[in-house]
């Protein structure tokens, strides 16, 4: 087994760092996050070894040393300390991961496909939106200032390895959002039926905030709505995002099939 750092005191500087990583402020400051769920841990260790910094475990675990990259450090915590950072009570080893600073997003050039703007304040919704976007080949995600941090423990638990499969950008607030190079599409109950809409080759998709929707925006927008049964108030923001991305992706598939038939 590789060299292991044993941590038995809550005053240990490394353990104090781990505690800070249970809060968004600490995650943002240090560029580190703690990932849980054995499936996510295995996927990231295998697919993104360069993102892995350390494996955190307790007396109850036997870490899989044969599959962990040699540069990854081992941190052996006594059970009471481990439980304090195992926020979801998984009882499984945790993975310390590093992420790069997010690049600033600018509306300076036209890019193909969908750019998803995320305003969600619930970290779990941010993680679900990232996972959904990755499933439909959205590679550019703009995190607006209102959004929770994508590496918050609640977000990364939902997103898993997909958080490393997309490009994350730091965006402005909703009040400051300006999109002029490509169409800005928003989701609203008052919008036109999305089923009748022809998606452009490039666009920004902006779902509303949980519960409150969207404020008046600076840029001109195309508002779309998802038809629902009478009497239903509204869809969950992440679900509405997923339906929209599915329809966009399906429209692209249909167009590609027609193009092949014509050829």
pLDDT digits over 183-242, tens only?
A: 999 998 888 999 999 999 999 999 988 776 776 776 788 999 998 887 777 788 899 999
The mean pLDDT value for 8-33 works out to 97
Q: Which residue among 78, 98, 118 closes a domain? A: 98
Domain membership of residue 86 (yes or no) is: yes
Distance between alpha carbon 232 and the CA centroid of its chain, in Å?
28
| Number of domains within the chain | 2
Q: Are residues 237 and 121 in the same domain?
A: yes
- The reported pLDDT for the residue numbered 261 is 55
The mean pLDDT value for 254-262 works out to 57
Q: Which residue among 83, 98, 113 closes a domain? A: 98
DSSP 230: T
Q: Are residues 157 and 71 in the same domain?
A: no
Q: Are residues 79 and 108 in the same domain?
A: no
What's the CA angle centered on 58, arms 22 and 161, to 5 degrees?
50
Q: Are residues 91 and 121 in the same domain?
A: no
Compute the distance between CA of residue 39 and CA of residue 92 in angstroms, rounded to an integer.
10
- Are 219 and 178 in contact by the 8 Å Cβ rule? The answer is yes
User: For residue 36, what are the domain limits?
Assistant: 4-98
Domain membership of residue 64 (yes or no) is: yes
Structure tokens at 68: 């962990």
- Are 103 and 169 in contact by the 8 Å Cβ rule? The answer is yes
Grade residue 252 by pLDDT with cuts at 50, 70 and 90.
confident
Query: In sequence order, which ranges of the chain are alpha helices (DSSP H)?
Result: 13-20, 24-30, 38-47, 79-85, 123-135, 153-159, 237-262
Q: Which residue among 42, 63, 98 closes a domain? A: 98
Domain membership of residue 71 (yes or no) is: yes
What's the CATH number where 26 sits?
3.30.1330.30
Compute the distance between CA of residue 140 and CA of residue 165 in angstroms, rounded to an integer.
10
Give every CB contact of residue 23 below 8 A, 6+ residues apart in sequence. none
Q: Are residues 19 and 44 in the same domain?
A: yes
Q: Are residues 226 and 138 in the same domain?
A: yes
Q: Are residues 114 and 232 in the same domain?
A: yes
Q: Are residues 38 and 113 in the same domain?
A: no
Q: Are residues 66 and 171 in the same domain?
A: no
Helix (H) or strand (E) holding 224: strand 222-225
Q: Are residues 72 and 194 in the same domain?
A: no
Grade residue 17 by pLDDT with cuts at 50, 70 and 90.
very high
- The reported pLDDT for the residue numbered 63 is 63
Domain membership of residue 238 (yes or no) is: yes
Compute the distance between CA of residue 257 and CA of residue 107 in angstroms, rounded to an integer.
32
Question: How many helices and strands (H and E) does the chain possess?
Answer: 7, 12
The mean pLDDT value for 153-174 works out to 96
- The reported pLDDT for the residue numbered 235 is 80
Domain membership of residue 88 (yes or no) is: yes
Domain membership of residue 21 (yes or no) is: yes
What's the CATH number where 217 sits?
3.40.1280.10
Domain membership of residue 263 (yes or no) is: no
Q: Are residues 192 and 210 in the same domain?
A: yes
Q: Are residues 31 and 48 in the same domain?
A: yes
pLDDT at 260 over 60: no
With a pLDDT cut of 70, the percent of the chain lying above it is 91
């Amino acid at each position: 087994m590789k060299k292991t750092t044993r941590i038995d005191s809550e005053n240990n500087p490394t353990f104090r760092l781990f505690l800070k990583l249970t809060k968004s402020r600490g995650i943002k400051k240090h560029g580190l996050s703690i990932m849980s769920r054995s499936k996510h841990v295995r996927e990231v260790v295998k697919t993104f070894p360069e993102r892995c910094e350390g494996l955190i475990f307790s007396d109850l675990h036997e870490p899989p040393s044969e599959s962990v990259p040699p540069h990854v450090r081992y941190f052996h915590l006594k059970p009471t300390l481990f439980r304090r950072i195992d926020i979801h009570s998984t009882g499984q080893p945790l993975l310390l991961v590093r992420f790069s600073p997010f690049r600033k997003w600018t509306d300076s050039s036209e890019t193909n496909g969908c750019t998803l703007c995320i305003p969600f304040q619930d970290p779990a919704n941010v993680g679900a939106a990232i996972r959904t976007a990755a499933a439909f080949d959205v590679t550019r995600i703009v995190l607006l200032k209102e959004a929770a941090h994508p590496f918050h423990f609640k977000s990364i638990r939902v997103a898993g390895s997909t958080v490393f499969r997309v490009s994350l950008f730091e965006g402005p607030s909703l009040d400051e959002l300006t999109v002029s190079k490509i169409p800005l599409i928003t989701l609203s109950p008052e919008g036109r039926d999305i089923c009748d809409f022809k998606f452009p080759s490039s666009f920004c998709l902006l779902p509303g905030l949980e519960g409150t929707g969207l404020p008046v925006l600076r840029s001109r927008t195309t508002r779309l709505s998802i038809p629902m049964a009478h009497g239903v108030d509204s869809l969950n923001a992440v679900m509405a995002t997923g339906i929209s991305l599915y329809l966009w992706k399906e429209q692209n598939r249909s167009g590609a099939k027609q193009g092949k038939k014509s050829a």
